[in-house]
Chains A and B, each alone.
Chain A
Amino acid sequence: EVQLVESGGGLVQPGGSLRLSCAASGFTFSSYGMNWVRQAPGKGLEWVSYISSGSSSVYYADSVKGRFTISRDNAKNSLYLQMNSLRAEDTAVYYCARVLTLSVLEPWGQGTLITVSS
């Protein structure tokens, strides 16, 4: 069974940092691009970042560019999101999602909640 499990969420103060992880299983992780997508409480989905299968291509939403860094370790079947200079507006559930084909995301993990507050 294809499975994605996020971890690393929690409460962090504005200006702080947090590192999210996404553990993949049930498929050949190194063959797929991966994404982070977030959803603020009561709001819609917002794409955050993409990384290609071999890490050669990375993209970021304008809202996180320069503050967030996506990375992966194919040997550990893991995806990461390093989040720095966090702001209140970064509060959201963060999902990792596999790229099925170009821009098609499936499956998604269960999400991890990040709350940025003092």
Chain B
Amino acid sequence: QSALTQPASVSGSPGQSITISCTGTSSDVGGYHYVSWYQQHPGKAPKLMIYDVSDRPSGVSNRFSGSKSGNTASLTISGLQAEDEADYYCSSYTSTSAYVLFGGGTKLTVL
């Protein structure tokens, strides 16, 4: 049950766009359309931002978008804002003995 691979940190200036990658295997990210992204501010519970690779829950800004190619999924945040500074986690359904795998998390810093 290895975690999905994310960069430890990314940064960008207000107004810019950033992309966070999430790499798995054909048993998880590559094999299913069930990749999600969560945002977590310090001391808070995670919040769903993207599900099923590219769908946004109601209330989530359209500045957040998701995509997938092969075994790698990506989260793109456009028009960076100060409040986007947080930790971001990807997750995927997996056909292994686990139910869901998480990535190690990416700390987004808005410069």
Residues of A within 8 A of B (CB): 35, 37, 44-47, 50, 59, 61-63, 95, 97, 100-111
Count of chain A to chain B residue pairs whose CB atoms are closer than 8 Å in the complex:
74
A106 and B102 form a contact (CB under 8 A) = no
Residue from A45, A106, A111 in contact with B105 in the complex, judged by beta carbons closer than 8 Å: A45
Does B79 sit at the interface, judged by CB under 8 A?
A: no
**Whole-angstrom distance between the Cβ of B104 and the nearest chain A Cβ:** 5
Most chain A beta-carbon contacts within 10 A, residue among B89, B97, B100: B100
Residues of B within 8 A of A (CB): 1, 3, 34, 36, 38, 40, 45-48, 51-52, 57, 89, 91-93, 97-105
A103 and B46 form a contact (CB under 8 A) = no
**Whole-angstrom distance between the Cβ of A96 and the nearest chain B Cβ:** 10
**Whole-angstrom distance between the Cβ of B14 and the nearest chain A Cβ:** 26
- Residues of chain A within 8 A (CB-CB) of B100 are 35, 47, 50, 103, 105
**Whole-angstrom distance between the Cβ of A101 and the nearest chain B Cβ:** 7
B3 and A44 form a contact (CB under 8 A) = yes
A59 and B102 form a contact (CB under 8 A) = no
A104 and B45 form a contact (CB under 8 A) = no
Q: For chain A, what secondary structure do more than half of its interface residues adopt (helix, strand, loop), or is it mixed?
A: strand
B91 and A105 form a contact (CB under 8 A) = yes
Closest 7 pairs (CB-CB, A-B): A103-B93, A106-B48, A44-B105, A108-B45, A50-B99, A104-B51, A103-B100
A108 to B91, CA, bound (A): 14
- Residues of chain A within 8 A (CB-CB) of B104 are 44
A100 and B51 form a contact (CB under 8 A) = yes
B48 and A47 form a contact (CB under 8 A) = no
A45 and B102 form a contact (CB under 8 A) = yes
- Residues of chain B within 8 A (CB-CB) of A97 are 46
Complex: chain B residue closest to A108, CB-CB: B45
A44 to B38, CA, bound (A): 12
- Residues of chain B within 8 A (CB-CB) of A59 are 97-99
Residue from A47, A50, A63, A106 in contact with B57 in the complex, judged by beta carbons closer than 8 Å: A106
B36 and A104 form a contact (CB under 8 A) = yes
**Whole-angstrom distance between the Cβ of B39 and the nearest chain A Cβ:** 11
- With A44-B3, A95-B46 as known contacts, state yes or no: A104 contacts B52, CB within 8 Å: yes
